[in-house]
Structure 1
Amino acid sequence: MSTVFVVGSLNIDQNIRVRSLPRAGETVRGSDATFSPGGKGGNQAVAAARAGATVKFTGAVGDDAHGRRILEVLSEASIDAGHVRVSGTAATGTAVIAVDDHGENQIIVSPGANSGITAADVDAGLAAVQAGDVLVLQLEIPTALVRQAARTAKGRGAFVILNAAPAPRQIDGLLDDVDLLVVNEQEIQVLAGLAGMPGNHRDLVQALPPALGPAIVCTAGAEGSFTVLDGSLVHVPAATVAARDTTGAGDTFVGYLAASLAGSHRDLPAAMIHATRASAIAVTRTGAMESIPWAHEIPASAPKPATPDPATPNTASPNTALSSPVVPN
């Protein structure tokens, strides 16, 4: 099995339960706050590790209790955190998360130590990358570092996955070395706006790859997820569960997807099915890292097999990054 490298954010999540999410200018009463390890980079690394991948992480925390707790969780997941910088001047990043009775959330992120990751940190963390490995990136660290990491890994033959979250304000050069772009319904709309190509998420999964470069997987909540294979729209249905908290569900999907693509079975739709099973479990639990299931918890039965959507004509050009195997052996 290849190695999954993750360069990204580590945060402590401050979680507050509310009956309904506040509107602009509204104050709502919430539960007592709880604190738990998170950050999109950390969540995705933990998900990949719990899925069974060998994972190496590059990031930063503060020299504080929150940072030490995050490092403990990474260690418990057997993640190589030797390239996690411990800052003596910045606190561990913080995410304030409000979750309503339907499991939906609103998140505000204060980057803290994540802003202190350097180009030298990225170079050191990716020194062992080789052909066939998988690099996972997000956008909770400086964009320049994301571009650097993608360029370095791609130049060595690795497969580069970018979860474009939070949605970028511009895409100049951001996607040049990305093989697979993972976005949700809101994020794909932002990218479509930047590319001047409005449309619904199903249409955009087909229309955007020729314009942007990378193949796309779009997660759409209860609708499931979508990609394009050989010119046809492929749909993986969502599992039906009672959601308690959607925090970290997308990160669980990305981490399990990466682990599957780094494994011996490298078919993208099959990886999406596996990631869907994992994220379905995550939403039935609270919190971010602690909600991510281990591989032995994933049910043997899958959702409805991924098949081309018959309602969508086979008109888009095939994307070579989606050919099987997806990642070079």
Structure 2
Amino acid sequence: MPTGWTIRRNLAAACVRLAPVGSAQPRVGVVGHVEWVQFARVPHVPRAGEVVHAREPFEEPAGGGAVAAVQLARLAGEAVLVTALGEDEHGRRSVERLHQLGVDVRASWRAQPTRRAVTLVDDARERTITTLGSRLEPQGADGVVDWETLEGLDAIYFTAGDPDALRAARKAARVLVASPRARHALGHGVELDALVLSTHDEVERHEAARSGREAALVVLTDGARGGSYRARSGETGSWAAASPPGNPVDSYGCGDSFAAGLTYGLGAGLGVADSLALAARCGAACLTGSGPYERQLGAGDLKG
């Protein structure tokens, strides 16, 4: 079995130039959450009692489910997103905007308001997020969601939902990748092909400790230092971060874009090393844009 150093070396080389994905695009989707996010740039996150003036404000539907769905649509040409939204202006605007970005949204509409968030990006390009309201999650019993829409997909990324929604995703797709942020959907014996989390996120690490045994592959990201993985088979390895294709601007969405790239790669039949290399490129590309969607990796970037 290769050593961790050998795997790191090979992945670093792969990040420079990824072999093109085959001509048959995988069919991909996301089951997860959407938040209506107000973005703004600040010199630094306000200290207690301080007033800081924001600049360059804009709004987008975002959150892990939305960001991953848009990244998958840009890689595969289209993607399905099963989600839940409030029956309000933010919910309707989310569907309209995500459709513009190539996502086929299948939403169950709720009486509760669509969750909102405020994201401040400081001069160090780091984002700080405050959420407003409860996260709305799709449920397996949602009568308005046609779960058969997902049947035959090559890969699904799961960020939020109940255990029945996770079971429906598992039944539908050949490859199922999940985030520990799915929380209570995990830990019920549903097999995952991969679980993706941040090394520095205590909530994700706690949830992964509870449900990681369900995953054939556990991937731990570590920002600019790349990351590491461990497989149920006992194989372990690491990868180097890809170089951003431009100046860093905004870290919002990098992790979700990474997870989408991994999902796409595994769904396309790439091995773990190439899938992680693609994921690293997706995260690095997202870093160079303002907000999650300005500079995500596209299908044209895979041709080489």
Q: Is the TM value for this pair above 0.5?
A: yes
Gaps of 5+ in 2: 1-24
Counterpart of 2:219 in structure 1 is 217
What is the deviation of 1:31?
1.0
Q: Which runs of 5+ in 1 are unaligned?
A: 140-144, 197-207, 301-329
Ranked by relative contact order (alpha carbons within 8 Å, sequence separation 6 or more), the top structure is 2
Identity percentage of aligned residues: 25
Does residue 184 (structure 1) correspond to residue 184 (structure 2)? The answer is: no
What is the distance in 2 between the residues matched to 1:79 and 1:63?
A: 19
The residue that corresponds to 1:228 in the other structure is: 230
Could you say if the C-alpha distance between residues 134 and 102 of structure 1 is closer, same or farther in structure 2, counting changes exceeding 3 Å? Answer: same
Residue of structure 1 in register with 2:174 after alignment: 158
How far 1:34 moved relative to its partner? Answer: 2.3
Tell me if structure 1 keeps the 8 A contact 2:199–2:220. yes
| Deviation (angstroms), 1:80 | 2.0
2:117 counterpart (95, 108, 126)? 95
- Cα deviations by residue, 1:237-293 (Å, 9 ceiling, x for unpaired): 112343211000111111122122222x33122111112112211111111234423
1:185-234 deviation line (CA, Å, top 9, x unaligned): 123775358849xxxxxxxxxxx95x554421111101113223664432
The DSSP-based 3-state class of the residue aligned with 2:43 is coil
Using the size of structure 1 for normalisation, the TM-score is: 0.72
Q: What residue is the counterpart of 1:59 in the other structure?
A: 83
- CA RMSD in angstroms, aligned pairs only: 3.1
Distance 1:183 1:253, change over 3 A: same
Counterpart of 2:60 in structure 1 is: 36
Structure 1 residues 103, 13: closer, same or farther in 2, change over 3 A? same
The change in CA–CA distance for 1:19 and 1:134 in structure 2 (over 3 A counts) is same
Secondary structure of the equivalent of 1:127? Answer: helix
Paired residue type of 2:27: T
Q: Is the 8 A contact 2:139 2:165 kept in 1?
A: no
2:114 partner amino acid: T
Aligned counterpart, 1:10 = 34
Look up the match of 1:27.
50
1:1-329 → structure 2 map (5 Å cutoff)? 1-23=25-47, 25-32=48-55, 33-52=57-76, 54-81=78-105, 83-87=106-110, 89-111=111-133, 114-115=135-136, 117-121=138-142, 124-130=145-151, 133-139=154-160, 145-156=161-172, 158-165=174-181, 168=183, 173=187, 176-187=190-201, 191=205, 195=209, 211=213, 213-228=215-230, 231-241=234-244, 242-263=247-268, 265-297=269-301, 300=304
- Summarize the Cα distance change of 1:290–1:126 in structure 2 as closer, same or farther, 3 Å threshold: farther
Q: Return the letter of the residue paired with 1:249.
A: C
Q: Measure the CA separation in 1 of the matches of 2:186 and 2:99.
A: 36
In structure 2, relative to structure 1, the CA distance for the partners of 1:134 and 1:244 (3 Å cut) is same
The residue that corresponds to 2:12 in the other structure is: none
Please tell me the residue identity of whatever aligns with 1:219: T
Q: Distance in 1 between matches of 2:171 and 2:61?
A: 32
Deviation at 1:66?
3.2
1:67-97, Cα deviation, whole Å (9 max, x unpaired): 333223322233222x21344x333321111
Gap change, CA 1:297 and 1:68, over 3 Å in 2 = farther
Give the TM-score of the pair, scaled to structure 2: 0.77
Q: Is the Cα–Cα contact under 8 Å of residues 153 and 159 in structure 1 kept in the other structure?
A: no
User: Does the C-alpha gap of structure 1 residues 74 and 63 become closer, same or farther in structure 2, counting only changes over 3 Å?
Assistant: same
Shift of 1:8: 1.1
